[in-house]
Every structure is written in structure tokens, then in C-alpha cells.
Amino acid sequence: MRRSTRPFGTSSPGSSAKDASVLSAAAYAAPQARVRARRSGLLTDAAWRGLLEATSSGELATAFEATPYASDVVGDEVGIEHALISRVAQGGHALLRSLQGRPRDLVAWYLRRFDLDNLKTVLRTIHHHQDRERARALLLRFEGSTLDWEALLDAGSIAVLIDRLRATPYARPLELALERYQEEQLPFYLEVSLDLAFFQRLVRLTERLGGTDRRQTERLLGFWIATRNLLWAYRYRVYARMSPEEIVNYTLHRAYAVDVAAVRRVATGAPISEEARRVGVDIPAELAPRDALARFETLARRALFARAQSSFRGWLFHLGAVLAYLVLLETEVRDLITVVEGKAQGLAATELASRLIREVPGVRA
Amino acid sequence: MFVPERMQEVNLFVLADDIEPVTETLARLGALHLQEVQPEAWAPSAEWAEVALKGRALAQRLERLLGLLGLPTADAPPAARLRPDADVKQYEAEVTVLEARIADLQAEQANNERRIRQLEAACPQVEALLPLAVPVELLRELRHMHLTIGTVPTINLARLGEALFQIAYVLVPIHTEKDRTLLFAAASHQDAAVLDRALSSAFFEPITLPLEVAGQPDEALQALRARLDEARGRRDELEEARRRLAEELGPRLSTLWRQLEGDTVLAEAMRRFARHGRVYLIAGWVPETRLDEVGRAVRAAAQGQLVIESLPPSLTRKDVPTLLRTPRWLRPFEGLVSIFGLPAYRELDPTLFAAIAFLLMYGMMFGDLGHGLLLALLGLWLARRGFGYGVVVAAAGASGALFGLLYGTAFGLSLMEPLWLAPTHQIQTLLLSAIVGGVVLLNLGFLLNLVGTARVRDWPRFFLDKNGLLGIALYWTLLGGGLLVVLGRLAPGLWLALLAPLGLALWLHHPVRLRLSGNRTEPFGEALVTGFFELFEALIGFASNSLSFVRLGAFAVAHEGLSQVVLRYGGGSTGWLVLLLGTLLIVVFEGLIVGIQTLRLEFYEFFGRFFEGTGRPFAPLSLEGGRDETVGVRM
């Protein structure tokens, strides 16, 4: 078989038509229909312009009224962010029912990152002895979760929390880091152990897919995992000033374009522009590390967004469409959060537009 | 048997003075599935949250004490009256006293166990040093090397090696136990900090070689082993002391634990009740058959000072819990259904149909008198050993034996005249029969869907769903009409003309109803596109679901073929071994595969027509294990 000479994850979505079959069409008919229909419900450029150009809270509220998110943008900024991100969790869960087999396993696990976010909230609440009511309000609404959040919030200590998670895949990673956490009293160790276990399993589930499903998943999730890994490595180096050996231990070793060799290069001082270029993201070499990191994060999100948009070209019936829709939805929600925060700070429409992941043409200042 | 137990929604308005006895009465009855409600102007009963937390903490402390004394926690509900608020305050001091009595023994046991672990961990370390023949104390003063010993999560071992890419190092895994590996790690002194950081970030837990270990490794090892024997001897003495203490304190600890567990269950429940001034609202679901019993008991507990409201759930309620009424003889098959899901309250319970279909399909695929009887015996043996599905396996084996009579085969031999047909000689008849059987089962699924939707008066689904009347009409026009076209008894044009309006109706009914109703929750365009693909899926599904049943016949043929192969190679001096292993392979392996295929047909082809299995189990407030969340809970 001839091997592709394209760089990582850049195969065009239409190139997989050879794998297309009536079977995949039958398997993905319903999810594809749902995805296409839901995608048509994402905000239009006009709706985005309306939001960006609103000059008062009243105008912003009116602009939101014309979107499906009107009921989410009430209350304080934290509440709004929480409600909007919960939309992604619910959207993903709604699509899950139409999937079967390994693709379903993968998407179900991918959605468990909302469980992970909630678990981190619980960990921090217990560690800092924070108010449970406040934590309860911060938990994302995720119907796919099978955890008893009330019982977890009531755990009182991390050891009891782990005990209550015994029958779940989260207990073991937490247990591995428990002693280190108890010694240093830093929830970071618990969180990093959870993250590593989550992403390692996500990679394994991706590898269990075959054909177009696998290629499309690698193209989207593989890119996302790789850029996350790169971001972790740089954050550990730039913000936490960790040693190379710690950076290598706290990152993924098999994350597609960002493997252990890449992590080592980052750990030993490789500039971010160089590593970013390897995953297909160009940032100027002259930027200071912290600025470069922020720039990379934004550009990586934009690159993922572009990949997701292009997934809707060519052969339709594969898992990529489902994942791409989830990326688009999450991008939309993240951009909406940026709009809400930016408006609160009084940013001008053009300034705000430049901070979004998506492009909004024709925005007036 | 065909529908879950009927439920009544119950609201109890109870005065604050009576809330504890009423809740206790409900918990002892185990007949109320609680639901959280918060009417306007009512507040949550936060005052019980603290009691619940304290009660849970005390119960956990007692559980720990029971564990330390090697005593089990009893399942029986508490005998004495429960008063969560007063009990928690009253027993706290007593628990502390009991803890103090056990603490000394516990501390000594823990120290001794730590020492045993330390010595046990030190032995292989010193053993590994035997070839060196250098005094152990010198290793602590290594001038050019930093050596550390400990355990690391086995999954992190490879990561650790990668993390040490900047230095020269040695990692020697000694042995792995559970999921941790005992590891020797060494590097030069100048790289010690790097090694320690890498180990620490790989969640390494160091073990320190006791200072008392000294001398040549062989002498040190001998001394270590002597100390280990001594520590193990002490363990026996401490164990005897623990046994005596357990005899003395066990009964009281058990009583207290049961009491506080019960108190905690009540407090946990009460904190979820809504409260308005001095009145609590307890809301939940009670099986209709136990409504009077619950009413009498709570009235007695509150001395008549409470208000009880009960009403049947409306047809649209989705949160009503499910309590199945499966007869005892059918219960083994309930497990087959619960693999798929628990019936929702308004759904039909398909256990009886599932059992009959399972046995018929299994028997048809595994038809052989000898193999069937062997499988039945295996099932009975499993059932006697407490394996939940043993009875199902035995029944499946019996069905296989029955079909063996119909096929005239035993252990692959044609020993008798088939009562119906011989699979390998009448393949076409067998395959056609399989499809006909499948069509019958699919139509039973359609029929059950009609009954289920009629029960909840969901007329759009009854008439217009792909599994409703419209779907049935389309199915029969597609398959029946298709057959007539093939046989030349129907003109293809007429067939298509019949199919077209049905297909259009199935595609367009949902978007059109959406538009007419003015419902804007789902965009018209979305419904139109989704509807088209669902029609496409339904058409493919009708054909593929029906043809899917061909496997019933194909497996029957394969079974006989496999048996023939075993018989063919069963001659000669080692023939008995081939026969034995072959038969074992057929009964266990093929039996399992046929089981999986049967479940697949049942779940996807049959259940898919009418059953969603989205029910919530009826989990009553109970003092026996708290709120039981297991499927199929029964009173």
C-alpha cells in the first residue's frame, strides 16, 4: 500500500471516498442528518455581527434573543459561561444516541471530558474546603454522566472521594497520584493524572477505529490532542518553570504530531514557533514566550475550527462529521463567552471580533 | 407480567415534630421511591445536611473500627428507634471512647505491619546486593552514585525512562505486585536532583533501607530474615489480642453502626424534603398495591397529624420509576432484558416475548439432541453454583435438544428420522423458514409497538411512526409487494406507485406537523433533512432486518457441518480426544457464539421496533442498604 506523504492530519476530507460504502452510509445516515440539520442551526454571520455591534446591554440582549442561546445569557459571567459550555455537553450527548459500536465508544469517552471538568471542580472544592453550594452551581450539566455528584461533593476528603469513584475509570489515576498529593497538598498532581489517563484512553479508542472514521478522527481529535499536549509542555516550562524530566512525565508521549521527542525538545528549550510549525500553526518567531503561547492557543483553535468546517465537504458518511459539529459548536460557545466578557469590558466590535476564533466579515467599529 | 407495577404519586405533609418517626416508618416499609420537589416558597431542609454528614462520618469511623477488629458490618436494619438528630449528638462521645480503646492496639499493629513491610521490601534489595559482597553500609555512602529504591506505578515505568533522557541512569525493576513495580534507580551524584525529580513526577514512592541493615549482604540478609520472623511472631500475638477485643466490643460496635447507618439514611432523605415553616413535604412514588399500608403506617407514626395526597401519574410523566412484576419462573430471563435496559413505566415489559423468542432462535441455531442436552446439564450445574444465567443456559440447551429431534441429529449423527427437516439436505427450506420466522418476530415487534403507543395514547406514533401503522404498511408493501413483483403477480409500476405515497407520508409527516403546530424548538429544515434520512434508514432497515434472520438457518447448517468435521476426525487411537475436545468446543464455544447472535437478533431486530428500555428502577427509601439502585428491585 502506498503511504501518504502528506504531513500529519492534513488529508482532505474528500479523499476517503474510496472507503465509502453503502454500509457506512446506512450506519451514518441518521447521525449525518442530525449533524447537518444542527449545523444549519449554528449562528450566521449576520447574527454574529448583531452581537458584536451591540452598543448597550439592551442591544446585546436583543441580539441574543434572535439566537437559541437567549435563555443561557442571564445572570453573572460565571453562570453564563457554565450554561453555554453545558450546551456543548448536551449537544454531544444528543448525538451520541444515533451512534453505534466503536465510534459511539469514542464519542462517549470524548464527552467524558465534561465529567473530568466537573471532577476537577469537586477536587478543588474538597481541597480548598470551599462551599458545596457554590461548587454545585459550577458543575456543568451533562446528561451522559453517571456519577453521583451530590455524594462526591459530600466526600469530605480526597481519599473518600476516590473511594466513591471506585467503580469508575477515574479512581485509579487519582489513586496513583494520591500519595504525592498528600505530601505536597497540591491538587495539580491529581488533575494531571486524570488528564493523562483521559487522553491516553482517547488515543487508544481512536486507534481502535478503522478506515475513514479513524482518519477523520485523527484529523480532528488527533490535532486537538497534539496541540493540547504541546500547550501543556510549554505552560509547564514557561509558567510553572518545571524541569525537563517533570515536563516529560506530565505530558502525553503518544499524541500524534506531538510525541515524546517533541515534548523533549520543548522541555529542553525549543522555541514555540518551531514546534508550532511542525503541527501546522505559524506564529512569528520574535514573540516573547508568554505572548507566543497565547498566540499559539488562539491559532491552534482557529486551525481546528478550519479543519472542522472543511469536514463537511466530500463524502458525508463518517464519524468526522459528528466530531466536526462538536468542534464547531464548542467554538461557537467559546466565542460567545468571549463576546459576553468583551462587552462587559467595553471592547469595541472590531477589537472583539479579532479575539474570536471564527471570522466575522463586515464588522463595523 | 406485561406492564410494570402501577404507581401512585404521593405527597405527605408532615409536621416538623413528626418528621423523624414518619421518615423512619417509610424507610422500614421500603415502599416509597423518593423524588425531590421544591414548590415555590418552600425551602430545602438544609438543617438535616449537617446531621447526615456527621452521621455518615460517625458510621464511617465505626466501620473502620469494625474493619480493624476484623468484624463484618451487619446487613440487618437497626432494632432501636431512630432519632438522627439526638443519636448523632449522643453517640459521638461513645465512638471516641471506643476509638481510644482500639487505637493503641491499632497503632502497635500498624507499626508492626509497617516494619514487616519494610523488612520484606528490604530482603529482595539486600538479596540483589549479594553478588557485590560489599558491606551494605558502604552503599549508603556511595561517593559517585546516587541510589534510590521504591515502587512506581507500572504504567509509569516507560514514561520514567523517557523522562531521564538528559542523564545517564540505571533503572532495575525487581518485581511487580498489583500495579506497582519495585524499582532500583541510580544515577551519578551530580544528576541526583534530576533523578529524584523524575521519580517524584512519575509518582514514585521511595522505600528506605533500614539503618539497622549492615554488614556483608549475606550476613545482613540473615539478620533481616530473623527480624522478619520476630515481627511475624508479634503479628500473631497482636492478632490474638485483636480477637479478644473484637469479642468484647464487637456487639456494641455493630449495634451502634447499624443505628448510625439508619440515622444517616433518614437524615440524607430528610435533607431532600422541602420545608415551609413547621411543615415538611415528602414526595415520592408508592406502588398502588401498597398505598393503603403506607397510609396506615404513616398516620400511626404521626398520630394522625399529617395530610396525604395521592394521584396517578399523567400519561406524559417520564420520571415514574419502574417496578417489574415478573413471575418467579420467568425471572431468569429478566436479566436478558435488563442487559438492554429497564422498561420505562409506560412501556411494555417484553420479558415473556424475549424469553420465547430467545429459546426458539437459540434452539433453531443450536439444534442437536446430544449437544443440547449437554448444554442443558452445563446450565443446571451453573445454576446450582449460583451463576445467574444458569437457568437460561439450561433452557437454551433444552430448546437445542428439542430442535435436535426436529432435525433428527444427535452429536452430529443422523440417528433418527427428522421430525421436520435435515438442515444440510434442505438448506433452502431452512433458510426460507428462518426468514419467515424473522418476519413473524418483526411483526410481533410492530404489534407490540402499536399496543405500547396506544397505551400512552401517542396517536402520532401509533399511526405515523416507522414502527407504527404507516411503517407496517410500508414494510408489507415493500417486502410483500416486492415478492409479488418477483413472482410476476404485480406490475413493478404499480408496486412503486403504492410505495411512493407511503414513503412520502413517512418522510413528511413530522416536518408538516411541526410546521402546523407552530413548534419552533426544531427547525423545519432540520426536520425535513432528518426525516429524509430516517426514511432512507427505515427502508434499508426493513430489508436488512428481515434478511438478518437468515443466520438462524445458516448457523443450524454450520452447527451440523462442524459436528460432521469432529466425527470425521474422531477415528483412530487419538479419536476419543478429538471427539471430546470437539464436542467441548461445540457446546461451549459455539454455544456462546449462538447466544451472542441470538441476543443480537433480539436486541436490534426485535426490541428496536418497540422497546426503548429507558426506565428508572424503583429504588425505595430503605434501611436495608439505603437507596438501592440495582435494576429490577423487587419488594
Q: Write the pLDDT tens digit of every residue in A271-292.
A: 999 999 999 999 998 889 899 9
Instruction: Compute the nearest-CA separation of B613 from chain A (Å).
Output: 13
Task: Please report the pLDDT score of residue A23 as a whole number.
Answer: 54
Give residue-wise pLDDT tens across range A86-141. 989 988 888 887 788 888 999 999 999 999 999 999 999 999 988 888 888 889 88
> Is B201 in contact with A26 (Cβ distance < 8 A)?
no
User: Could you tell me which chain A residue has the CA closest to the CA of B195?
Assistant: A245
SS3 per residue for chain A: CCCCCCCCCCCCHHHHHHHCCHHHHHHHHHHHHHHHHHHCCCCCHHHHHHHHHCCCHHHHHHHHHCCCCHHHCCCCHHHHHHHHHHHHHHHHHHHHCCCCHHHHHHHHHHHCHHHHHHHHHHHHHHHCCCCHHHHHHHCCCCCCCCCCHHHHHCCCCHHHHHHHCCCCCCHHHHHHHHHHHHHHCCCHHHHHHHHHHHHHHHHHHHHCCCHHHHHHHHHHHHHHHHHHHHHHHHHHHHCCCCCHHHHHHCCCCCCCCCCHHHHHHHHCCCCHHHHHHHCCCCCCCCCCHHHHHHHHHHHHHHHHHHHHHHCCCCCCCCHHHHHHHHHHHHHHHHHHHHHHHHHHCCCCHHHHHHHCCCCCCCCCC
Size of interface A-B (CB pairs under 8 A): 87
Task: Please report the pLDDT score of residue B628 as a whole number.
Answer: 35
Average pLDDT over residues A159-187: 89
Interface of A with B in 6-25 (CB under 8 A): none
Asked if the model's pLDDT at residue A14 lies above 60, the reply is no
Chain B residues lying within 8 Å of A33, measured CB to CB: 529-530, 532-534
Task: Please report the pLDDT score of residue B509 as a whole number.
Answer: 84
Give percent of chain A with pLDDT exceeding 90. Answer: 46
Asked if the model's pLDDT at residue A224 lies above 80, the reply is yes
Give residue-wise pLDDT tens across range B324-378. 988 988 988 988 888 888 999 999 999 999 999 999 999 999 999 999 999 999 9
Amino acid at residue number B480? G
In whole numbers, what is the pLDDT of chain B averaged over residues? 87
Task: At B227, list the grid cell.
Answer: 527480624
Is the full-model pTM beyond 0.80? no
Q: Which of A266-270, B356-360, B603-607 has the lowest mean pLDDT?
A: B603-607
In this complex, the residue of B203, B527, B544 whose CB is nearest that of residue A176 is B203
Task: At A46, list the grid cell.
Answer: 449576520
Instruction: Compute the nearest-CA separation of A257 from chain B (Å).
Output: 17
Residue closest to A106 by CA, chosen among A257, A228, A258, A221: A221
User: Could you tell me which chain B residue has the CA closest to the CA of A196?
Assistant: B156
Give residue-wise pLDDT tens across range B171-191. 988 778 778 888 889 999 889
Which one of A184, A196, A248, A265 would you mutate to disrupt binding with B, by most B Cβ within 10 Å of its Cβ? A248
Chain A residues lying within 8 Å of B166, measured CB to CB: 244-245, 268
Interface of A with B in 186-215 (CB under 8 A): 189, 193
In this complex, the residue of B166, B197, B203 whose CB is nearest that of residue A177 is B203
Q: Looking at the DSSP assignment, which residues form a beta bridge with residue B10? A: B284, B310
User: ipTM of the assembly?
Assistant: 0.79
Average pLDDT over residues A69-78: 82
In this complex, the residue of A30, A40, A244 whose CB is nearest that of residue B533 is A30
CA-to-CA dists, residue B246 to A205, A207, B61, B106, B395, angstroms? 49, 53, 16, 12, 48
| B153 reaches A (C-beta below 8 A) | yes
A243-257, B32-46, B128-142: range with highest mean pLDDT:
A243-257
Chain A residues lying within 8 Å of B540, measured CB to CB: 26, 29
Amino acid at residue number A319? L
> Is A156 in contact with B53 (Cβ distance < 8 A)?
yes
> Is A248 in contact with B525 (Cβ distance < 8 A)?
no
Asked if the model's pLDDT at residue B425 lies above 80, the reply is yes
Asked if the model's pLDDT at residue B631 lies above 80, the reply is no
| A240 reaches B (C-beta below 8 A) | no
Residue B565 or A225, more confident = A225
In whole numbers, what is the pLDDT of chain A averaged over residues? 86
Instruction: Compute the nearest-CA separation of B201 from chain A (Å).
Output: 6
| B159 reaches A (C-beta below 8 A) | yes
Task: At B521, list the grid cell.
Answer: 424548538
Instruction: Calculate the CA dihedral of residues B298, B299, B300, B303 and round it to 10 degrees.
Output: 130
Task: At B280, list the grid cell.
Answer: 415538611
In this complex, the residue of A30, A189, A243 whose CB is nearest that of residue B534 is A30
Which one of A249, A258, A268 would you mutate to disrupt binding with B, by most B Cβ within 10 Å of its Cβ? A249
Amino acid at residue number A268? T
Asked if the model's pLDDT at residue A21 lies above 70, the reply is no
Give percent of chain B with pLDDT exceeding 70. Answer: 96
Q: Are B288 and B31 in contact (CB under 8 A)?
A: no
Task: Please report the pLDDT score of residue B521 as a whole number.
Answer: 64
Task: At B626, list the grid cell.
Answer: 439505603
Asked if the model's pLDDT at residue A24 lies above 70, the reply is no
Give percent of chain B with pLDDT exceeding 90. Answer: 45
In this structure, what are the phi and psi dihedrals at residue B295, rounded to the nearest 5 degrees? -60, -50
In this complex, the residue of B159, B197, B205 whose CB is nearest that of residue A243 is B197
Q: Which of A128-137, A190-199, A254-263, B163-172 has the lowest mean pLDDT?
A: A128-137
Average pLDDT over residues A156-163: 88
d(CA A51, CA A59) in angstroms, rounded, equals 8
Around Cβ B408, how many Cβ atoms within 10 Å?
19
Asked if the model's pLDDT at residue A59 lies above 90, the reply is no
Chain A residues lying within 8 Å of B525, measured CB to CB: 37, 40
Question: Per-residue confidence at B319, pLDDT binned at 50, 70, 90?
Answer: confident
Instruction: Compute the nearest-CA separation of A156 from chain B (Å).
Output: 9
